[in-house]
Amino acid sequence: MPLSPCSIAFIGTGIMGSSMAKHLITNGHPLHVHNRTREKAEALLERGAIWHDTPESAANATDVVITMLGLPSDVEQVYFGKTAGGGVIEAAKSGSLLVDMTTSSPRLAERISIAARERNIEALDAPVSGGDVGARNRSLVVMVGGGDEAFHRGLPLLKLMGQSVTRLGPAGSGQRCKLSNQVAVAIGMVAWCEALAVAKASSLDPLVVQDVIRGGAAGSWGLTNLAPRALNEDFEPGFLVRHLVKDIRLAQEEADLQGLRLPGLEVAQKLYELLGKQGYGEAGTQVLFYHYETNRGAG
């Protein structure tokens, strides 16, 4: 059943969430917002969104709750609540739809689905790929886990934020697909950073090399969108280093459960964890290129 227009609570208006929520309010949906820091929601408030001091208040006032948070612990806090608020599952109205778009744990997604069902609430896990550029341009890839009825109920809203929306299976399936995506992202970041480091060390213009090789078999989203930022020493975040570290760890946990060893991902994990320890946790993931610049000749 179409959900246009419907009242939406959007919880988490950071780098990605603010752009995603903007598409919803622009398309006529009454928007209620909450974020840990109100200033990151100001642009939405100026467009007419209604501010709530707690996630529970926003959930109780709306038909659909969408979350775009940072860590699985944030998701658990918001949905299950460890404070007097009790969490959005308890606060949401019977018949509501909950959509978590955070990259999080598949098992947590399953827990949310079970707890929601007990209160006659539908739930989807719907993580996205495409970074800040995709969020702004409405070109995100949305990977969905959950029941077929809930999926079709939420599909019109998800299409307002993404160019591709696919249901992978039951609860947790969207998260499992996203973790597979992040394996490719993390290893791919290492690949193009090393390729351009070699080009620069060989006295080639790395911007020219980037433009040449992105048109061939080595082309990738990161090479096209992030490499120019790195080469111009622009390390502003489209996606935070600390969030990629989180995603890698989740992917490693999933691989361990399946009895898989991922040596390429282990290399990427070591590099990104090192960047975090060096103080680059809040930088964009393209800062990895800086690692090769600063460690040239270090043996």
User: Phi-psi region for residue 87, left (φ > 0), alpha (ψ -120 to 50) or beta?
Assistant: left
C-alpha span between 35 and 11 (Å, rounded)? 6
Q: Which of 245, 255, 247 is nearest to 277 (CA)?
A: 245
Token look-up 């103080």 returns: 279
Distance from the Cα of residue 200 to its chain's centroid: 31
C-alpha span between 92 and 54 (Å, rounded)? 12
Q: Is 93 a catalytic residue?
A: no
Q: Are the CB atoms for 255 and 262 separated by under 8 Å?
A: yes
C-alpha span between 13 and 172 (Å, rounded)? 23
C-alpha span between 67 and 75 (Å, rounded)? 8
Active-site option among 22, 40, 178, 270: 178
Q: Are the CB atoms for 55 and 37 separated by under 8 Å?
A: no
Q: Are the CB atoms for 162 and 141 separated by under 8 Å?
A: yes
3-state class (DSSP) for residue 54? coil
Instruction: Write b or e for each residue in 118-132: b if 16 or more Cβ atoms lie within 10 A of its Cβ, otherwise e.
Output: eeebbbbbbbbbbbb
Q: In angstroms, what CA-CA distances link 289 with 15, 115, 186, 199?
A: 22, 43, 13, 12
The pair of structure tokens assigned to 18 is 């603010």
Q: What residues have CB less than 8 Å from 180, skipping those under 6 apart? A: 251
The residues annotated as belonging to the active site are 178
